[in-house]
A and B are shown apart, each in its own frame.
Chain A
Amino acid sequence: MIDRLALLAGWEPETDTFFRRIGPNDLHFDEHLGRTRPQTGCFCDDSIEGGMSAYSSELLVRLGRSPAALLRRYPEHCLLAMPGALLVTKGQIIEAVPGDDSLDDCNHAHVNILGPKSKTLQKALRRLDFYVLPSKH
């Protein structure tokens, strides 16, 4: 049983990093950037509660889990790391909301990123280049 109050004590989204899974079909080579990046449509609101679904790096640490655990059931995916400072600067509000899979402790690190997903924000996110890859990569 996770004590949510203890888990979230002192948590500051602005200084955190948030992981979002990116599927292999959503990556492509951008000739202008000169490297592979996610397509822009990855960065839309898709959570049931509203907002864009992601996972907190800090909360994963507090749960004793590694980011790679987020890929355990999705070995073809990678993780894109989104800085909380960037999201907050672009007008996003980050709320810690447990995921719907109570069997997986990682879901206690789940967050919803709320706010309009402008093209400016989407372009900033697609330019990020910090990924976590599953071991098979």
Chain B
Amino acid sequence: MNALQEAVQSAAPLSTVTSRSPHDGHDLFQPSVAMTVKRHPRWASEPEPQITVRVSGDQVRIAGIQGSRWFGPVIAALLPLLDLPHNWNTHGAEPVEQASLSGALGALMNLLHPDTRPPRTFAAANGGVNFEWSTTQFALELSVDRDSGVVLSYSDDEREWDGPPGHAPAFVEDALKQLALG
């Protein structure tokens, strides 16, 4: 199983598989490696994103995603990161850890409204994953890595805040809401 298949496997429980190729010779979504994500109550009334995956031989293709503005672009940006080799940044960076990817998807599902604009998605030099948004008013990022866990980080012209998403002050919560409006 390649990294792409493993990634889709991890992502599958987040969504509803609406199409499966009759050519897949193995159970792509084994429960033993599935990730369980509980959505934050604030988004409980929102529809779950639906993902359509097509499998042909070793090829896994995400054929369509509905119900979320950010989910599809994030998945599309994350999958290539799993193939980054050691030293991908020329300074000795570690490959992206699959645990970081799984943790990142879980954190995003908890944090983001379905209408949130897609973040820019990056590998971090320590094997983690980094998501960044910016507007003319503020910059916001979510980083996930083995050492620090999930950290939300905000800055504007006057304020900075970093911490666990669950401890975000009101002005950071407001920033998150703004990302779903524009």
Interface residues of A (CB under 8 A from B): 20-21, 23, 25-26, 28-33, 39-48, 52-54, 74, 77, 118-120, 123
Contact = CB atoms under 8 A, between A and B. Distances in A.
Nearest to B126: A44
Contacts of A43: 125
Contacts, number: 86
B160 A123 contact: yes
8 contacts: A32-B138, A32-B156, A33-B134, A40-B124, A42-B125, A47-B91, A47-B92, A77-B90
Contact of B91 (A21, A30, A40, A120): A21
A87 to B, nearest CB: 15
B126 A31 contact: no
Given A21-B90, A28-B120, A46-B91, 18 more contacts: A20-B91, A28-B132, A30-B139, A32-B136, A32-B155, A33-B139, A39-B122, A40-B124, A40-B132, A41-B123, A41-B124, A42-B124, A45-B125, A45-B126, A46-B126, A77-B90, A120-B162, A123-B160
B128 interface: yes
A120 B90 CA distance: 24
B143 A53 contact: no
Interface in B124-173: 124-126, 128-130, 132, 134-139, 141, 143, 145, 151, 153, 155-156, 160, 162
B6 interface: no
B57 to A, nearest CB: 29
B125 A46 contact: yes
A79 to B, nearest CB: 11
A31 B160 CA distance: 17
Contacts of B120: 28, 39
Contacts of A54: 91
B94 to A, nearest CB: 7
A115 to B, nearest CB: 13
A41 B94 CA distance: 12
B97 to A, nearest CB: 13
Contacts of B156: 32
A41 B134 contact: no
A31 B140 CA distance: 11
